[in-house]
Copies of this chain bind each other. A is one copy, B any other.
Amino acid sequence: MDPIRIDDPRDPRVAAYLDIRERDLAGRQGRFVAEGKVVLDLLLSSRRFSAESILILENRLGGLEDMLRKAQADLPVYVVAGAVMDAIAGFHMHRGILAIGRKETPHPAASLLDALPAQALVVVLVGIANHDNMGSIFRNAAAFGADAVLMDTTCCDPLYRKAIRVSVGAALKIPFASFADTAEFTADLDRRGYDQFALSPRGRIDIRDAPRRERLALYLGTEGEGLPESLLSRLQTVRITMSKGFDSLNVAAASAIALHHFSR
């Protein structure tokens, strides 16, 4: 593909990139923003997502030619000077590599579970509303080979720009889906033979003693409230033992410890 030079920040061909910070909050009709070389590489290699266009700082183009060969031949690649990039994005974009991706149609959680192998590790998120934590949990899930992330409807969008960036692209790599009814979802995992562990500071078993079976679901809740009592009373509960006097751990840090324990 031949890069297309853009000099006017109001050029309609780059309208999808305008004011990307504000538009994150308003949603983007089935699209998402990928930033940086690593994330762009994952997007171009993805079978679930496709790129609609790429916007690159002129001085970054040289290092990307190999990667861009992976893209479909008709993918528009727009090239801009630094001042034009900043005027489009609405703030100073020091990374200089952006792409617009198209979301896939959401799957029901059950059909994602249907597609998993006999040995599977899934992460179940309840009420994770912070994009930093969401991105970090995806990054940890990818680092320790989790097969899927399932989340309730109060979780934030893993394809929010910042969540993708913090995940270093893992949000584009690990399949995810939402479920509407937690009790039904938990019952479905039971029927499918999953061992279900809920991580909680008051968990009954120390994580060091938690067995890793063939099919395992790890539930993580919000930092403040934790997982709801209705889940804690129904699932096996595991704790990460901490120091007396400072028993406070960020949910992403907790996910790293638990996923490392359960990975093989």
Question: Among residues 233 to 264 in chain A, which have CB atoms less than 8 Å away from a CB atom of chain B?
Answer: 240-243, 246-250, 252-254, 256-257, 260, 263
How far, in Å, is A193 (CB) from chain B's closest CB? 23
B263 touches A243 (CB 8 A): yes
How far, in Å, is A138 (CB) from chain B's closest CB? 10
Known contacts A240-B260, A243-B263; A253 and B170 CB within 8 A of each other: no
Interface presence of A142 (CB below 8 A): yes
Interface presence of A168 (CB below 8 A): yes
Q: Which residue of B lies closest to A244 (CB)?
A: B145
Interface size on A, residues (CB 8 A): 26
Measured CA separation A75–B246 after assembly (Å): 26
Contact for A246 among B170, B242, B246, CB less than 8 A? B170
B144 touches A248 (CB 8 A): no
Q: Report B-chain residues with C-beta under 8 Å of the C-beta of A240.
A: 260
Q: Which residue of B lies closest to A137 (CB)?
A: B253
Measured CA separation A241–B70 after assembly (Å): 29
How far, in Å, is A238 (CB) from chain B's closest CB? 13
B142 touches A253 (CB 8 A): no
Interface presence of A173 (CB below 8 A): yes
Question: Among residues 60 to 89 in chain A, which have CB atoms less than 8 Å away from a CB atom of chain B?
Answer: none
Q: Report B-chain residues with C-beta under 8 Å of the C-beta of A178.
A: none
Question: Which A residues fall within an 8 A CB radius of B?
Answer: 136, 139-140, 142-145, 168, 170, 173, 240-243, 246-250, 252-254, 256-257, 260, 263
